[in-house]
Amino acid sequence: MVKLTVDEFVKTRCCRNFKPIVTIIRELMKEYAPNATEVIKLRNTGLQNKKDICGHSAQTRKGITFSFTHGTEFEDKYNLLRGVGKVSRHVKIKNLADANKEALRYYVKQALEIEAK
């Protein structure tokens, strides 16, 4: 089995309609966590330091799921977080107009603060 880099994975496995959204998400993650590592897990890409911080799936034609490992602990002033699990939450992004950068920054910052504890 050939091991892909995250760049190769995004280029070859992400639905092309969503690549601009994936680019925004990856840029935000790199901006706020430059020392974290981008990884491929379970056909998704994500960001981790000592633990998983967040991840996104872009292989469906329905949109991007940008998930946060400890999303239940987040403040959600934008009311975009979804999910029913005990720990994680996610934001669904169906098109570039839905990619609220301010809200995504807000969630990424919280994810990093929680991971740092």
Give the position of tokens 């002033």: 77
**What is the three-class DSSP state of 18?**
helix
Best CA proximity match to 104, nearest among 37, 19, 24:
24
Q: All domains of the chain, ordered by start, with CATH?
A: 6-116 (3.90.1150.200)
| Whether the predicted pLDDT of 1 surpasses 60 | no
CA 80, 9, 31: angle at the middle one, nearest 5? 50
Where residue 56 falls (left for φ over 0; alpha for ψ -120 to 50; beta otherwise) is: beta
Give the full edge-to-edge strand order of the sheet including 89-93: 37-41, 44-48, 52-57, 64-68, 89-93
Q: For residues 79-104, give the mean pLDDT.
A: 92
Best CA proximity match to 115, nearest among 24, 43, 35:
35
The distance in angstroms from the start CA to the end CA of the chain is 37
| Whether the predicted pLDDT of 83 surpasses 70 | yes
pLDDT band at 78 (very low <50, low <70, confident <90, very high): very high
pLDDT in tens, 5-28: 888 888 888 888 888 888 888 888
* pTM for the full predicted model: 0.84
Q: Which residue has the higher pLDDT, 63 or 83?
A: 83
Q: For residues 43-66, give the mean pLDDT.
A: 77
Percent of the residues in the chain that have a pLDDT greater than 70, as a whole number: 96
Given this model, what pLDDT does residue 64 score? 87
